[in-house]
Amino acid sequence: MVVGILLAIVAMVFYSGGALLQAEGTRRATKRRPVAVQPRYLAGLALDFLAWLCAAGALRVLPVFAVQAVVGGAIALTAVVGAWLAGARMPTVMRLAVVGCLLGLVLVAASAGPEQPPARQQGVDVVLLVAWLLLAVGVLVLRQSRRAWPLAAVAGIGFGGIALSVRAAHVQTGESPDPLLLLTQPSTYLVAGFWVVGMIGYTAALARGDVGAVTAVFTVAQVLVPGLVGIFLLGDAVRPGWWWVMTLGLAAAVAGSVLIARHPPLRPPRVK
């Protein structure tokens, strides 16, 4: 369990570093050197991939709600490091949001139960497939409108579906670490499907709305929905008597993420 928490924390750090590198690569992009060939942007994508591998490893031993909450803390870490790199002073409200978010993540991680869910759960793959189909149709329909938040919500659930698919594949294979056995699980192949839906929805949402508001809705949907589904669908365990701790932690983490995402971009102080 400790290894799982450490892997989730490493994933959070990698996701934060990837976001900062991709943002810097995007700022340096020109017509002659587009973003696709910017070294910093490519390095950010590489960090994102490493982060995903760490998160997938964490999902083998931790419930979805714990991993998603910790990984969602990347938004707080990115805010702190971004402010430091920009030489800007974080407002008090934003500092409180970061502290609340991090404390919430600690509570969520601590509430995860040590016991593993029973393997070979019935109907998991069918439920995930139906969910993917509904999300895919939802993205196609919502792209016809100009509202950003529904697309952001669908995108967040889509990326959360990746975590659910990985967790489902681990649950279905029990204690066996055999990669070939994972390839026999239908949920393994749903990872790509959920990723496509999430990327299309998130990109469309950013084209329609403010990046802060979009990120806020995206983060809330990515943490809350898959975590609750994992509890009821996959049997992810919460420590006996710790439901209130998990609920309090999720509320603090989500509220902090929303405040951070909706805050105006930080700028360095003016030089007199």
Please write the tens of the pLDDT for every residue from 3-61: 888 898 999 899 888 888 877 777 777 778 776 778 888 898 899 889 988 988 888 88
Question: Could you tell me if 91 and 143 lie in one domain?
Answer: no
- Residue 109's contacts (CB-CB under 8 Å, 6 or more residues apart) are 5, 8, 62, 66, 69, 70
Return the DSSP state at 91: P
Higher-confidence residue of 228 and 86: namely: 228
Q: What is the pLDDT of residue 133?
A: 95
Question: Could you tell me if 167 and 253 lie in one domain?
Answer: no
Question: Could you tell me if 148 and 167 lie in one domain?
Answer: yes
Q: What is the pLDDT of residue 50?
A: 94
Question: Could you tell me if 61 and 99 lie in one domain?
Answer: yes
Question: Could you tell me if 70 and 5 lie in one domain?
Answer: yes
Higher-confidence residue of 119 and 198: namely: 198
Q: What is the pLDDT of residue 240?
A: 85
Question: Could you tell me if 146 and 231 lie in one domain?
Answer: yes
Number of domains in the chain: 2
CB of 8 closer than 8 Å to CB of 66: yes
Question: Could you tell me if 231 and 121 lie in one domain?
Answer: yes
Residue 67 region by backbone torsions, left for phi larger than 0, else alpha for psi between -120 and 50, else beta:
alpha
CB of 91 closer than 8 Å to CB of 80: no
Q: What is the pTM of this model?
A: 0.79
**Exposure letters 152-188 (e unless 16+ CB within 10 A, then b):** bbbbbbbbbbbbbbbbbbbbbbeeeeeeeebeebebb
Question: Could you tell me if 207 and 145 lie in one domain?
Answer: yes
Name residue, tokens 């279905």.
Answer: 172
Higher-confidence residue of 174 and 85: namely: 85
- Tell me how far apart the alpha carbons of residues 183 and 169 are, in angstroms, rounded to a whole number: 9
Question: Could you tell me if 105 and 5 lie in one domain?
Answer: yes
Question: Could you tell me if 110 and 167 lie in one domain?
Answer: no
Judged by average pLDDT, the poorest of 54-58, 138-142, 195-199, 233-237 is: 233-237
Question: Could you tell me if 131 and 171 lie in one domain?
Answer: yes
Mean of the pLDDT values across residues 97-108? 86
Domain, as residue range, for 251: 1-115+239-272
Higher-confidence residue of 117 and 147: namely: 147
Give me the percent of the chain exceeding a pLDDT of 90: 13
Question: Could you tell me if 41 and 144 lie in one domain?
Answer: no
C-alpha distance from residue 148 to each of 128, 162, 202, 209, 272 (Å): 25, 22, 9, 5, 40
